[in-house]
């Protein structure tokens, strides 16, 4: 292929380790290796029956046409009610934009708000799409460390020190990927204070907020004095086990909602109409399946954390949300990138190097525990055996 060219901006876009490791794991599986998957953040449960039925019925009822670009009105109404009930946000349909998944909201927000040279503060380690999209829009990524000793929360003084005249946006994510850390309500209040008299937006990624096992968090958009400058992103992928349906939304001021709708028109036209109808059932129907899945995740969290802590050289904090364990492996003296590859190649356990979520994730491994207890036990056993061998060989050298 000759004379292929690419726009310069494509150099700035990054991939995602979860998908790269999944591809590698699939290759090994094709060669006959038994792989236990802990790399992708995806519930292993099927979408709850009532939601599936609502989606199928919507197709049969003929809801197979475009919806309004901003989102199907009865769905936006359901989201407004849900936001009041679960997030304590006063909103209405003019402030809601429905998108195919929560990820689009990251893309749209950065495209709408960031000019080249603008600074964007984001968590490190954090979801890789943040840094990738900041760079793509020409923004300057300004990482703020997420600190293990603080329960994987920010040091708020450090966060404050990173705010400058060029800061346009602060990204927060609670419960967080990749650590499962939850920002306590008082931290959210302090972040609101930090932006109160400044022209800075906050992007609040709340896609794991139904998966909290202890304590509570708070949506920064529930604070009236800053609500106009908050974009809440939420998604059905994790709470309702709907990753493949591609359904999410944002809540923001109506002026920004109009701009995001323009992006939607140019990009997707709209989110699939019958998927939005299934979303109404998810939000308005019984929530017992969400509760059941959360209960299962909590049991698995306890199992994973206990198992990881019993592996020599590993330590893992029990965090209160999402379905990720973030194990500190610094005292093994090994590089986390190398160890993640070795664990996959030699033990058949696919997991992620913490550094793929930012420099501050170096020395950690992320395991998504959205997997059966049986697989968790098997994977932990394999890692334990491997670590025993590695440590023994090192002592022998
Ligand atoms: C923190 C965070 N935000 C956003 C997303 C995007 O999810 P989706 O596009 O499936 O809604 C993910 C997915 O893993 C995530 O972990």
The verdict on whether omega for the bond into residue 175 sits within 30 degrees of 0, i.e. cis, is yes
The CA-atom distances, in angstroms, between 343 and each of 238, 286, 356, 365, 369 are 26, 41, 16, 11, 16
Task: Tell me the CATH architecture of domain 9-46+288-388.
Answer: Alpha-Beta Complex (3.90)
Residue 356's pLDDT is what? 96
- Pairing assessment for the beta strands 364-368 and 352-353 based on DSSP bridges: antiparallel
Give the β-pairing of 364-368 and 324-328. antiparallel
For ligand 1, is residue 137 a contact (CB within 6 Å)? no
Quote the pLDDT of residue 397. 63
d(CA 174, CA 209): 7
Atom of ligand 1 nearest to the CA of 243: 10
User: Tokens representing 245?
Assistant: 């349906």
207 Cα–ligand 1 center, Å: 7
Q: Which CATH class is domain 49-284?
A: alpha beta
- Structure-derived torsion over alpha carbons of residues 194, 195, 198, 201, reported in degrees to the nearest 10: 150
Q: 168 C-alpha vs ligand 1 centroid, how far in Å?
A: 22
- One DSSP character per residue, 222-283 reads GSTTTGGGEEEEEESTTTTT-GGG--EEEE--HHHHHHHHHHHHHHTSS--HHHHHHHHHHH
Report the C-alpha gap between 57 and 116 in whole angstroms: 46
As to burial, measured by CB atoms within 10 angstroms (0-12 exposed, 13-18 middle, 19+ buried), residue 197 is exposed
Q: How far is the CA of 109 from the centre of ligand 1 (A)?
A: 14
- pLDDT tens for the chain, residues 1 to 397: 777 899 999 999 998 889 999 999 999 999 999 999 999 999 999 999 999 999 999 999 999 999 999 999 999 999 999 999 999 999 999 999 999 999 999 999 999 999 999 999 999 999 999 999 999 999 999 999 999 999 999 999 999 999 999 999 999 999 999 999 999 999 999 999 999 999 999 999 999 999 999 999 899 999 999 999 999 999 999 999 999 999 999 999 999 999 999 999 999 999 999 999 999 999 999 999 999 999 999 999 999 999 999 999 999 999 999 999 999 999 999 999 999 999 999 999 999 999 999 999 999 999 999 999 999 999 999 999 999 999 888 777 6
Q: Where are the domains of the chain?
A: 9-46+288-388, 49-284
Find the radius of gyration of the CA atoms of the chain: 21
Question: Is residue 125 reached through a cis peptide bond, with omega within 30 degrees of 0 on the bond before it?
Answer: yes
Kindly state if the Cβ of 177 falls inside 6 Å of ligand 1: yes
């Amino acid at each position: 292929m000759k004379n292929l060219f690419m726009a310069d901006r494509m150099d700035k876009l990054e991939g995602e380790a979860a998908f790269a490791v999944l591809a590698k794991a699939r290759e090994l599986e094709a060669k006959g290796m038994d792989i236990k998957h802990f790399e992708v953040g995806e519930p292993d449960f099927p979408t709850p029956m009532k939601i599936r039925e609502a989606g199928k019925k919507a197709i049969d009822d003929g809801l197979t046409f475009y919806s309004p670009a901003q989102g199907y009105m009865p769905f936006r109404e359901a989201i407004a009610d849900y936001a009041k009930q679960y997030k304590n946000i006063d909103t209405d349909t003019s402030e809601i934009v429905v998108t195919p998944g929560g990820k689009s909201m990251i893309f749209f927000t950065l495209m709408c708000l960031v000019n080249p040279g603008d600074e964007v503060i984001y968590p490190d380690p954090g979801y890789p799409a943040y840094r990738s999209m900041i760079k793509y829009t020409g923004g300057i990524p300004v990482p703020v460390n997420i600190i293990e000793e603080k329960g994987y929360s920010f040091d708020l003084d450090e966060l404050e020190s990173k705010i400058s005249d060029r800061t346009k946006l602060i990204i927060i994510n609670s419960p967080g990927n990749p650590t499962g850390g939850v920002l306590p309500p008082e931290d959210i209040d302090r972040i609101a204070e930090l932006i109160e008299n400044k022209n800075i937006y906050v992007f609040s990624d709340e896609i794991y907020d139904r998966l909290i096992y202890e304590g509570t968090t708070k949506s920064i958009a529930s604070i009236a004095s800053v609500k106009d400058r908050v974009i809440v992103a939420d998604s059905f992928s994790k709470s309702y086990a709907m990753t493949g349906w591609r359904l999410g939304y944002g809540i923001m001021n109506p002026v920004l909602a109009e701009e995001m709708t323009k992006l939607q028109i140019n990009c997707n036209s709209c989110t699939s109409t019958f998927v939005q109808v299934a979303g109404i059932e998810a939000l308005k129907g019984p929530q017992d399946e969400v509760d059941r899945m959360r209960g299962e995740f909590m049991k698995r969290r306890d199992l994973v954390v206990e198992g990881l802590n019993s592996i020599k050289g590993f330590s893992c904090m029990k965090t209160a949300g999402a379905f990720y364990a973030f194990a500190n492996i610094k005292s093994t003296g090994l590089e986390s990138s190398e160890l993640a590859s070795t664990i996959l190649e030699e033990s058949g356990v696919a997991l992620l190097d913490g550094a793929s979520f930012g420099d501050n994730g170096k020395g950690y491994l992320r395991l998504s525990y959205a997997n059966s207890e049986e697989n968790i036990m098997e994977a932990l056993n394999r890692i334990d055996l491997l670590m025993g061998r590695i440590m023994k060989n090192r002592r022998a050298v």
